[in-house]
Amino acid sequence: MTDHSPLPRQPSNQPVTENTGTPRSMVQGVIFRHPIYGMGLAFLGALIITPDTLLIRLSGLEAWSLTVWRGLLIGISLLVTWGVMARGQILKDLRQITRTSFAVILFATAGNNIAFNFATIETSVTVVLTALATAPVLAAGLSLLVLKEMTTPKTWFAIMVTLLGVMIVIFNGDGATAAPTGNVLFGGLLGLMSALGLAVVFVFIRKSPNVPILLAVALGNILSGIIGFAGVSVGSLFSGSLWPVLLMGFGVMPLAMALLSTAPRYTAPTNVTLFMLLEMVLGPIWVWLGTGEQPSFMMIFGAAIVLATLIIYILSSAKNET
């Protein structure tokens, strides 16, 4: 994530009002650095991203075509967003692209994107989003390898319980109604691979906080779109409905990711992680309302185990850090 300030530069001699003489930049600094501002960014970003899986369903595209469209459109949109947000820092950001952490985030994003697309086409949205939600605890486990941070017994317990919940969802995935008829186990494993890719991104953001995250993620998405051309034909590329993909690529995803990548500057990363769980809760609801896809009781039970474990783990970890 870049270290530039998003605050507009104001001349120091410009008062906000004649009565106080308080520089406008100081007032803006108070507003932008209030915890509610950061939490608002995180909540709005997490809320905007929740219809993503519904838009995938409505597109009707097969996996390779979906990968091309999502990768290129989201990547280009994020590239433009990065250019706008970076402003005077563009050259400084570009000098970071030779760093190992930048390359790892780029390739992990590409892998995460491809695995998520194929998983969503393969099986129930509930299976995929439940598996994807394990990314925070997987990141905690990876921290032991990458950052040499001690992984506590509480973390390993959370990893085991969340994976148990995911397995309950996967092995009962055939009970979902109006869901894709692909291999549920394969779809679940792809969901976990997507979560692992996201966890790698989390860990390397922590390892190298000055790496331009939006630029790396944008190029990772574009790379996944280019890879998608390997398995697509011209006919299948235009076989679905493109308006959901255009809305997803030029609206939902770039806006949500810009908000979520900015929010940690103004609020604790724990708050951002908690709000991101909204997709696990609301995503299947949007898909159910839009397509009639509905999880079975045991799938909901397994997802509830994952959700409850993650909330308890994240809140307890935040408490220990304070």
Q: What is the dihedral of CA 176, 253, 195, 162, to 10 degrees?
A: -60
Write out the two tokens for 307: 């959700």
Q: Of 86, 46, 2, whose CA–CA distance to 255 is shortest?
A: 46
- pLDDT, residue 23, reads 53
Domain residue ranges of the chain, discontinuous segments joined by +? 48-321
Q: What is the pLDDT of residue 316?
A: 84
Nearest-CA neighbor of 286 among 53, 70, 49? 53
Counting every residue written for the chain, the total comes to: 322
Q: Which position has the token pair 């190029």? A: 219
Q: What is the predicted pLDDT for the residue at 321? A: 58
Token pair, residue 277, equals 């769980």
**134 touches 271 (CB < 8 A):** no
Give residue 34's pLDDT. 60
As a whole number of angstroms, the distance between CA 23 and CA 29 comes to: 10
Q: Please give the pLDDT value at position 139.
A: 87
CA distance 93 to 30: 27
SS3 294: strand
pLDDT at 272: 80
- According to DSSP, residue 15 is labeled B
Distance CA 281, CA 286 (A): 9
Cα–Cα distance, 4 to 7 (Å, whole number): 9
* pLDDT value for 143: 84
Which of 255, 311, 244 lies closest to 278, judged by CA?
311
Using CA atoms of 254, 139, 137, 276 in order, give the dihedral in degrees to the nearest 10. Answer: -10
- Predicted pLDDT at 273: 80
Q: Which residues of the chain have pLDDT under 50?
A: 1-22, 24-28, 30-31
| Residue 194, pLDDT score | 96
Reduced to 3 states (helix: H, G, I; strand: E, B; else coil), residue 104 is helix
The CB density around residue 143, as the number of other CB atoms within 10 Å, is: 19
Q: What is the pLDDT of residue 1?
A: 41
